[in-house]
Structure 1
Amino acid sequence: MPARAPTLLLVDDDPKLREVVGYALTREGYLVHEARDGAEALARLAAASFDLLVVDVSMPELDGFELVRRLRAEDTETPVLFLSARSDEIDRILGLELGGDDYVTKPFSTRELVTRVKVLLRRALREPTRTAGAASEDQPDADAETLHVGGLRLAPEQHRAWWVEAEVALTATEFRLLEVLMTRPGRVFSRAELGEQAYPDARHVSGRTLDSHVRRIRAKFREHGVDPVETVHGVGYRLREPLEP
């Protein structure tokens, strides 16, 4: 039986851009659905699930940043690729800190965009997340391999993370970064090492991008009273030890 084609939601208020980008992605075998603005995207997301969102930042009424802010507040983990005419570094960092997984600045080539989409989908589909309505358990499956460091647990096959008994929702990128750190607790990973191991399909990941994802991991766990990642200034990051409840 052939594999299911990945389903994408393209959100942009420019019909010409939707036509060009939609055509390029459809040619790669993806099923592309469209939304003209953030409000229409929310309606589509309430009715169906998607493997990836391609979202323009500047849209009337409900812009891309606010759309993703709302989705992440609801623990929606679908990967997001931002499109934006804003090239300032602060905008790229803001997009990543709000929950984006990548950021492409206009004007861009469709070849570059398709490559970025492929990278995000490979990571996301290799590490599937639970969807709304799926059965939820307080513990990982007995047969699933888990990583334990003190009160921190990861179940890679299920893409689930816990601090003690509380489950913490992570995006595919956040999960992979934390998984790399957990393989060697206390060992300092440089940004270059983390980029190579957590983003194996990407040609280059900037330090700023990686820093943004790490900040999101730390913020999510701080809500449960713990900060599992320690910054080693001028070097990189390491998993804290000990991590006892």
Structure 2
Amino acid sequence: MVEDNQDHLDLCKEFLSSDDFFLDAAKDGREAMSKVHSMKYDIIVLDYRLPDVTGADLLRQIRAFDKTTPIIFVTAMDDPDISFQVMQYGASDYIPKTFQYYERLRERILENLGRAKPEE
């Protein structure tokens, strides 16, 4: 997960721990690029606002060498222009950080990994 807000990272780790996810974190674009060049991830969760680069620009950098890893783009700005832009750049999914964000993030991660749980 590429996210510069430690509180948000901690909440995500707590919320996703019930599914036995391992959450590796990068706090900026530079750290994220170093990690994705040295490790293969099952999925990447990428925030829009980062201290050194926009998430959209980082998405383009990642897609330049990794066309297959699912990337879920998240942002506090529910902006249709950003949504359209990042989907054009190769995001697998787009989730605004609004009501029930953590539940939707968990569902989308499972869907993108092909592990969607059956409806009850």
Fold shared by both chains (TM-score > 0.5): yes
Measured on the aligned residues, the alpha-carbon RMSD in Å equals 1.8
- Aligned partner of 2:55 in structure 1 is 64
Pair member with larger Rg:
1
Kindly state the Cα deviation for residue 108 of structure 1 after the two structures are TM-superposed: 4.0
**C-alpha separation in 2, matches of 1:108 and 1:84:** 13
TM-score (norm. length: structure 1):
0.45
**2:25 aligned residue (17, 29, 34):** 34
Instruction: Describe the SS at the equivalent of 1:100.
Output: coil
**C-alpha separation in 2, matches of 1:108 and 1:73:** 33
Instruction: Name the one with the larger helix percent.
Output: 2
After TM superposition, list the pairs within 5 Å mapping 1:5-84 onto structure 2. 10-84=1-75
**C-alpha separation in 2, matches of 1:83 and 1:31:** 18
Query: What do residues 165-186 of structure 1 show as CA deviations (whole Å, max 9, x unaligned)?
Result: xxxxxxxxxxxxxxxxxxxxxx
Kindly state the Cα deviation for residue 66 of structure 1 after the two structures are TM-superposed: 1.0
**C-alpha separation in 1, matches of 2:99 and 2:89:** 22
- Aligned partner of 1:95 in structure 2 is 86
Amino acid at match of 1:112: R
Instruction: Describe the SS at the equivalent of 1:32.
Output: coil
Query: What do residues 37-90 of structure 1 show as CA deviations (whole Å, max 9, x unaligned)?
Result: 111111111221100000101112122111110111124321100110121211
- The alignment status of 1:115 with 2:81, answered yes or no, reads no
**C-alpha separation in 2, matches of 1:75 and 1:121:** 16
Question: 1:11–1:38: 8 Å Cα contact kept in structure 2?
Answer: yes
Structure 2: gaps of 5 or more residues: none
- Aligned partner of 1:196 in structure 2 is none
Identity of aligned residues (%): 28
Structure 1: gaps of 5 or more residues: 1-9, 124-199, 202-245
Kindly state the Cα deviation for residue 26 of structure 1 after the two structures are TM-superposed: 2.1
Aligned in 2, Cα 1:28/1:119: closer, same or farther, shift over 3 Å?
same
Question: 1:37–1:63: 8 Å Cα contact kept in structure 2?
Answer: no
**Runs of 4+ that moved beyond 3 A:** none
**C-alpha separation in 1, matches of 2:11 and 2:42:** 20
**C-alpha separation in 2, matches of 1:11 and 1:108:** 21
Structure scoring higher RCO (CA < 8 A, sep ≥ 6) equals 2
